[in-house]
């Protein structure tokens, strides 16, 4: 129950009902006031000449002196016929000289405000004119006024309040019973019908919100597969769409985080394993050298030191590559993009690796067509990618050749490194870019690398917005392909301007 009172539906319905009641009260009040205004105006119009007729009658009865008692009886007759009126005789300043009201009445004012009197005499046809009621000076009521000679040519006025107190209460009773009851009845019907329809409609409209809140609660409790059905394109539909896409992103991020966490665990396991083996070997050889001392032949000692050195170099390479990869991962590293000639870079790298390749009877053949456009990239990083690929090509081939082929496409230059080695087994192909992944064959080799070279190459190309692809050449070696964007005319302008 508490939940219902806290619900949006309840608040909406309550505000709607309160608004409905406020509107109803305003409507009843406005109807009542305008009806009152109409009745009063009609009353004044009907009795426009009442004061004048009365003044004519009084003047006929008055001689030189004002004789109140002589006119009292005729007034009494009039008031019997018309109990709604109260008659006052005023002098020229508005002072009440005599009054004729119902028996129990009490007159509280000595004089009346003359402004409405003059207004009535000047323009009796104008809109409703309200004059001060001497019995209740704070109230203004419809009046009828006429000039009167009070005898001896003393000017005065007949001042009639239309709708005296007795009549007012009778009228208000009538009004209460008629206007109010009718208005209240209409208002009651409107409140019942509109209120019921409104509350049902709100219930229907907020049903989608309630459904959405339930789904979001389930999502919040950990069921990340929950999605809100999108049934329309209105605000609620858009809200559902936004929630769904937010949930997709969140779910994807959680998946990524889990994957990264898994990778991190594997990385630690691999690093410890790959560090342990060379370290154990170094320790073993050093202990043997110390233990055997002079017993060891020079030839053996040299062999042991050679193995220790190889293991140390391997360890150093691994630590360097790990450091490089973690630096690339931090996202603080941004490639320093600049235009350069990929042909020149390939020629330089070929020269660098030729001595090593020749030792294994391998030929490096760069195929760089003339007129290739400049490419955009971080030269040092691209050199690292090419070096890693050529190093692998030399390392995993016994003899043969390595071809480095450049091909210009629309807005890119494709770079291919083909070797004539054993190639990569289908089983290993999907994993060779993973960190620390080494194919079975390479693992067993004593010369095996760290398993980080291709992961570094892939990461560098990712930072360049590019991918790297590998394919087997049916037992004739492997071919690695990646692309670099060429420099467009607009890029040249920008770099010239910035110089
Ligand atoms: P590694 O330091 O072991 O060379 P890489 O990340 O460079 O690590 O390569 C991962 C694995 O991919 C290698 O262990 C090897 O099994 C395989 N590989 C890479 N390049 C070649 C290639 N040209 N020919 C055959 N196998 C390759």
pLDDT tens figures, 236-283: 899 999 999 999 999 999 999 998 888 788 878 878 888 888 899 999
pLDDT-derived band at 499 (thresholds 50, 70, 90) equals very low
Residue 484 β-bridge partners: 413
| Contact indicator for 113, 93 with CB cutoff of 8 Å | no
Residue 475, phi then psi, degrees to nearest 5: 80, 0
* Alpha carbons 369 and 360: distance in angstroms, whole number: 27
Residue nearest to atom 4 of ligand 1 (CA): 449
443 confidence band (pLDDT: 50, 70, 90): low
For the chain, give the percent of residues with pLDDT over 70: 87
Average pLDDT along the chain: 85
> Phi and psi at residue 149, in whole multiples of 5°?
-85, 115
**Cβ(236) to ligand 1 under 6 A?**
no
Q: With a 6 A CB cut-off, is 448 part of the ligand 1 pocket? A: yes
pLDDT at 491: 62
Ligand 1 test: best mutation among 273, 278, 440, 454, most atoms within 8 Å of CB?
Answer: 454
User: Looking at residues 93-118, what average pLDDT do you find?
Assistant: 86
Helix axes 8-46, 181-220, angle to 10 degrees: 160
pLDDT for 140 beyond 70: yes
* CA dihedral (317, 320, 323, 328) positive or negative: negative
Q: Indicate if the pLDDT at residue 83 is higher than 70.
A: no
Residue 296 has pLDDT above 80, yes or no: yes
Residue 137 has pLDDT above 90, yes or no: no
* C-beta 397 within 6 A of ligand 1: no
**What's the pLDDT score for residue 498?**
46
Band the pLDDT of 6: cuts 50, 70, 90.
confident
Tell me if 424 CB under 6 Å of ligand 1. yes
- For the chain, the farthest-separated pair of C-alpha atoms sits apart, in whole angstroms, at 168
Mutate to test the pocket of ligand 1, among 315, 387, 438, 440 (most ligand atoms within 8 A of CB): 438
H or E stretch including 131?
strand 130-133
User: How far is the centre of ligand 1, averaged over its atoms, from the C-alpha of 381 (Å)?
Assistant: 19
Beta bridge mates, 144: 160
Q: Taking 60 as the threshold, does the pLDDT of residue 496 lie above it?
A: no
Alpha carbon of 344 to ligand 1 centroid (Å): 26
Question: pLDDT digits over 192-240, tens only?
Answer: 999 999 999 988 888 888 899 999 999 999 999 999 999 888 888 999 9
Q: 400 in ligand 1 pocket by Cβ < 6 Å?
A: no
Low-confidence winner among 40-49, 79-88, 219-228, 456-465 (lowest mean pLDDT): 79-88
Please state the φ and ψ torsions of residue 361, each to the nearest 5 degrees.
Answer: 60, 35
Q: What is the pTM of this model?
A: 0.54
Mean pLDDT value of segment 131-137: 89
Of 100-104, 326-330, 453-457, minimum mean pLDDT range: 100-104
Q: Which of 489, 464, 468 is nearest to 480 (CA)?
A: 468
User: What is the rounded distance in angstroms from the CA atom of residue 63 to the CA atom of residue 476?
Assistant: 147
Q: Determine the Cα–Cα distance for residues 485 and 498; give it in Å rounded to an integer.
A: 20
**Strand pairing class (338-340; 375-377):** antiparallel
Q: Is 314 in the pocket of ligand 1 (CB under 6 A)?
A: no
Tens of pLDDT along 466-495? 999 999 877 789 999 999 999 986 665 555
Paired with 366 in beta bridges are 404
Q: Give the pLDDT confidence score for residue 9 in this predicted structure.
A: 86
Give the distance (Å) from ligand 1 centre to CA of residue 445: 12
**Highest-confidence range of 69-83, 148-162, 444-458, 464-478, by mean pLDDT?**
464-478
| Atom 11 (ligand 1) nearest CA | 438
SS3 37: helix
164 — pLDDT class (breaks 50, 70, 90): low
User: What is the pLDDT, as a whole number, of residue 445?
Assistant: 47
The percent of residues above 90 in pLDDT, for the chain, comes to 42
Burial classification of residue 258, based on how many CB atoms lie within 10 Å of its CB (0-12 exposed, 13-18 middle, 19 or more buried): exposed
- Kindly tell me the sign of the dihedral angle through the C-alpha atoms of 114, 119, 125, 127: negative
Give the residue, out of 364, 396, 431, with the most ligand 1 atoms within 8 A of its beta carbon, to mutate for a pocket test.
396
């Amino acid at each position: 129950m508490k939940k219902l009172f806290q619900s949006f539906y309840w608040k909406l319905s309550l505000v709607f009902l309160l608004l409905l009641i406020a509107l109803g009260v305003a409507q009843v009040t406005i109807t009542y006031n305008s009806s009152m205004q109409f009745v009063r105006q009609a009353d004044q119009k009907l009795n426009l000449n009442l004061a004048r007729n009365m003044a004519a009658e009084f003047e006929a009865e008055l001689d030189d002196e004002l004789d109140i008692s002589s006119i009292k009886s005729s007034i009494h007759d009039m008031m019997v016929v018309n109990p709604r009126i109260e008659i006052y005789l005023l002098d020229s300043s508005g002072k009440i000289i005599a009054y004729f009201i119902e028996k129990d009445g009490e007159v509280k004012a000595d004089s009346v405000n003359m402004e409405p009197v003059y207004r009535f005499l000047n323009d009796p046809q104008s809109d409703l004119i309200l004059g001060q009621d001497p019995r209740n000076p704070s109230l203004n009521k419809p009046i009828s006024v006429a000039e009167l000679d009070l005898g001896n040519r003393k000017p005065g006025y007949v001042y009639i309040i239309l709708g005296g107190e007795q009549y007012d209460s009778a009228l208000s009773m009538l009004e209460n019973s008629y206007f109010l009851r009718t208005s209240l009845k209409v208002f009651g019907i409107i409140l019942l019908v509109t209120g019921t329809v409104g509350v049902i409609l709100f219930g229907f409209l907020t049903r989608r919100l309630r459904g959405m809140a339930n789904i979001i609660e389930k999502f919040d409790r950990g069921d990340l597969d929950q999605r809100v059905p999108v049934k329309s394109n209105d605000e609620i539909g858009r809200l559902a769409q936004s929630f769904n896409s937010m949930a997709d992103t969140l779910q994807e991020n959680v998946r990524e985080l889990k994957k990264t966490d898994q990778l991190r665990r594997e990385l630690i396991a691999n690093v410890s394993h790959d560090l342990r083996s060379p370290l154990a070997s170094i320790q073993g050889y050093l202990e043997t050298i110390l233990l055997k001392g002079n017993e060891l032949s020079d030839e053996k000692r040299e062999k042991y030191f050679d193995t220790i050195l190889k293991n140390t170099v391997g360890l150093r390479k691994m630590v360097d590559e790990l450091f490089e990869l973690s630096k690339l991962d931090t996202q603080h590293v941004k490639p320093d993009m600049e235009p350069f000639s990929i042909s020149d870079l390939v020629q330089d790298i070929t020269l660098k690796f030729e001595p090593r390749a020749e030792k294994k009877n391998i030929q490096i053949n760069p195929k760089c067509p003339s007129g290739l456009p400049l490419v955009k990239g971080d030269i040092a990083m691209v050199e690292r990618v090419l070096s890693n690929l050529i190093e692998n090509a030399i390392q995993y081939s016994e003899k043969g050749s390595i071809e480095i082929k450049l091909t210009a496409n629309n807005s890119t230059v494709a770079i291919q490194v083909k070797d004539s080695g054993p190639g990569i087994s289908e089983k290993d192909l999907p994993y060779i870019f993973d960190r620390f992944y080494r194919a079975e064959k390479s693992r067993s080799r004593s010369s095996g690398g760290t398993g980080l070279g291709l992961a570094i190459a892939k990461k560098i190309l990712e930072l360049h917005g590019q991918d790297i692809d590998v394919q087997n050449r049916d037992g004739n070696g492997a071919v690695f392909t990646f692309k670099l964007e060429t420099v467009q005319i607009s890029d040249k302008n920008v770099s010239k301007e910035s110089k």
